[in-house]
Chains A and B, each alone.
Chain A
Amino acid sequence: MSNSTLRAVFSDWRVVLMTVLVAFSLISIYFVPLSFDQGVTGNLQLGLDLEGGAWIQLGFNSEVVRFDTDRDASSFAADLGERLDAEVLLVDEDRLEIRKFYTQEELEAAFEEAGGTVVAYERGVSESTADDIKRILEDKINSLGTRDAKVNTLSGMSGVTKYIRIELAGADIATAQDIVGTQGKFEIRIQTTGNATEHVLFGDAITSVSTPSRGPGSNLWGVGFTLNDEGAQAFRNAALTYGAVDNPEAHELVMLLDDNIVYSAPLSPNLAGDLRVSTVRSLSASTGVGDEGLKEAKNLEIHLRAGALPVDVFIAGSGYVPAALGEHFKTMSILAGIIALLAVGVVVYYRYREPLIVLPMIGTNIAEIVILLGIARFIQQLDLAAIAGIIAVLGTGIDQLVIITDEVLHEGGIPSPNLYQKRLLRALGIIVVAASTTVIAMLPLALMDLSSLRGFAIVTILGVLIGVFITRPAYGKVIMALLSR
């Protein structure tokens, strides 16, 4: 290739931009930060199905209801709570979160009795509850020492969170199930008279739980835990209201997990004394002495931790890819890409029989994919669906390069620069329309949260945009410069 050809090729800004972007992409994938130890995928973010790991998606046994009533909203909520025997929280003036599963029909009946109407019904939790649940799950995962975990909430357009998705790299499905499968609802109640008890607080008021320990100079095992301010207030109020500070023995504190009693004990005289004066946030539940006491303390610790979710959850979906299978998928995906590219090369060569067309064509396609990966590294995790998107981009890419080639080389001849430019613009016109339809067709998938297909859509859209604005016009310039030598 002569110097003048090279100069002609690089005189177009899009060719320059394409080259710069390819370099930038390779650098960001392999060099910043340096990642030769990661193998061929470098700094790309890989999805669980390529990396190996388990995921679990949880739904909520609760609803967010938009309502209408002439009554005062908070007393309406309290009234509903009694009728439904469920926790009912006011999310904002006209929305309630009902923390128990009811169908829309059941709620409509209950709302009517309470003097209101259901305007909109959606299964899920409010954003703030979702954040709480997310935080609790993260704490729990951390305490189990899982190394690489992601917890994401999935919300609809209305802002109601419908699902929460947990991804645990390198974990097996049993681990994922254990984190959420044994989820219980933790509650502390206080004995009032006889066997009757009253609610004091739920597990979400517990901010931290320590490991079993013995007090200085004591044989007694116990588990320390801390309440948030509201929890501490509720705890003190209950102790004062029901007389536990005066007569601890008759007003034991009862801890329940899923409505089963897991622990029950009176207030210690010290604590009773402290509560008379102010709220106490740091508490300790003692279990007993010796090995038996330690064992019980360990169980109690698990209960205290495990009981932290404010809403009942169910497993909406889950999955597991063993590391070896992920590795296999990775190899096969790379293989699929390479074979697809080679096969396309053969077909294109069969059609044009001109290396000066075929090589730039394949080169442009590779550049397109490298740039796509370089950008995707920052915004999108690559899973199998996203890889299908990359191959889709490869397919449309070649399609459009064929349009450009056939258009500019009409009737086999290489036209004058002016005519060439006109034809190239015409070809790009077709391409832009075609690309817009692809982008529009993929947009709903990218915006909706159809779990695994989101990556696919984002990658496809990104690839088409890179192709239309940068690499495909650049290709038009490159073959012109090469062929008009």
Chain B
Amino acid sequence: MGFFTYDISKYPPAHMVALPLVLLGLSLIFLSFNTLTTGLPVDPGIDFAGGVGVTVFTPDSKEVLEEYFAGFPLRSVGESINDGKYMVFEQLDEEQFRALTARIEERYPDAGIDQIGETFGKTLQSQALLALLFSFAGMSVVVFVAFRTVIPSIAVVLSAFSDIVITAAFMNVLGISLTLGTTAALLMLIGYSVDSDILLTSKLLKRKGKLDEKLEGAFRTGVIMTTTTLTAVAAMFVVSSLGQIIIIRDISVVLLIGLVVDLMNTWMLNSGLLKWYLTASKGGVK
């Protein structure tokens, strides 16, 4: 890939891991701060906090919609370029919700509606958290079983952990809430990120040859892997944004962020740690 000039074999490990570690640290501080002030590391969307989401295609402007739904707790109106609108309402009781659906039906009979109650949202929230924990633990076990060496395994797990944490921090900065879709994306990220980490670790640990050459080979393959995935996800993002398919749009935007973060974590953090481990364990610099 001509336009990419990161010469992976040139940098010493300490330089490679510096940027990812600083970002990880900042993200952790940021997420902890959020947890302390709001009770949750990431802003929960309607799936977890309860509320109503309405998908509609209409030329009516945001202001018109706000006025039409003036009596209801409208929290936000998202717009996409082809008249697609996505409105989010706060939690409503059953009577208000019926009134809202009647109001929607009256003027926008073709609108899609999603409503999640607060208690159900809480159940979903705790289940999603459990799913994330189990997934992560399961992934770690597989990695340790596959490599049976402590430091390389830790490097892979740390890199996957960092992927999720930094991506979650970016979600906050960009105002993307945690929904069922974005939770799925974070889980998927575990799978995706570990792909390139495993390629890297397998090549460096289990093959003969010069470290730098193996690293360069893994890097070439790894970058093309992530680029193809990024391309598929970008296509998914463009089409779902145009088509106003909220759940797929959410998944793809988080994956886009996560895959870019993963490029950094795999080829700086994970490679740096591995390089350090391999040179140190062979008794000094080659």
Contacts and interface: CB of A to CB of B under 8 A. Distances in A.
Interface of A: 49, 57, 59, 162-163, 172-174, 177, 181, 314-322, 324-325, 328-329, 331-333, 335-336, 339-344, 346-348, 351, 384-385, 387-388, 391-392, 394-396, 398-400, 402-403, 406-407, 410, 426, 429-430, 433-434, 436-438, 440-445, 448-453, 456-457, 460
Nearest to A452: B180
Given A339-B239, A437-B190, A445-B184, A314 B117 contact: yes
Interface stretch (B9-17, B34-42, B240-248): B240-248
Interface stretch (B69-77, B129-137, B168-176): B129-137
B112 A325 contact: yes
B128 interface: yes
B232 A394 contact: yes
A387 B252 CA distance: 12
6 contacts: A336-B236, A395-B233, A438-B190, A438-B195, A452-B180, A460-B188
Given A325-B110, A385-B247, A442-B135, 4 more contacts: A340-B231, A391-B232, A406-B217, A441-B188
Q: Do most interface residues of chain A lie in helix, strand or loop, or is the interface mixed?
A: helix
B236 A444 contact: no
A448 B119 contact: no
Contacts of A433: 142-143, 146, 198, 202
B42 to A, nearest CB: 17
Interface stretch (B22-30, B98-106, B274-282): B98-106
B261 interface: no
B183 A324 contact: no
Given A399-B195, A442-B135, A445-B131, A336 B184 contact: no
Contacts of B183: 453
Contacts of A398: 225, 228-229, 232
B114 interface: yes
Interface of B: 1, 55, 94, 97-98, 101-102, 105, 109-117, 119-120, 123-124, 127-128, 130-131, 134-136, 138-139, 141-143, 146, 180-181, 183-184, 187-188, 190-192, 194-196, 198-199, 202, 206, 217, 220-221, 224-229, 231-236, 238-240, 242-243, 245, 247-248, 251-252
B48 to A, nearest CB: 11
B87 to A, nearest CB: 14
Interface of B is mostly: helix
B184 A453 contact: yes
Contacts of B224: 347-348, 351, 402, 406
Given A332-B240, A384-B247, A385-B180, A437 B110 contact: no
Contact of B191 (A162, A348, A396, A429): A396
B236 A340 contact: yes
A351 B105 CA distance: 51
Contacts of A351: 1, 224
Contacts of A392: 188, 191
A453 B180 contact: yes
B226 to A, nearest CB: 8
A316 B117 contact: yes
Contact of A437 (B124, B143, B229): B143
B239 A335 contact: yes
A460 B187 CA distance: 11
Contact of A344 (B187, B232, B247): B232
Chain A CB count within 10 A is highest, among B105, B141, B234, B251, for B251
Given A319-B112, A441-B139, A402 B236 contact: no
B47 to A, nearest CB: 9
Nearest to A54: B113
Contacts of A426: 206
A441 B234 contact: no
A217 B140 CA distance: 80
B98 A396 contact: no
A319 B113 contact: yes
Contacts of A434: 191, 194-195, 198-199
A449 B102 CA distance: 30
Contacts of B135: 440-445
B15 to A, nearest CB: 27
A64 B1 CA distance: 61
B36 to A, nearest CB: 27
Contact of A387 (B102, B191, B233, B248): B248
A406 B214 CA distance: 12
A442 B180 CA distance: 14
A433 B191 CA distance: 11
Of B139, B143, B181, B232, most buried by chain A (CB within 10 Å of CB) is: B232
Chain A to chain B: the 6 pairs with minimum beta-carbon distance, closest first = A332-B243, A438-B191, A440-B138, A316-B120, A336-B239, A444-B134
Nearest to A335: B239
A396 B187 contact: no
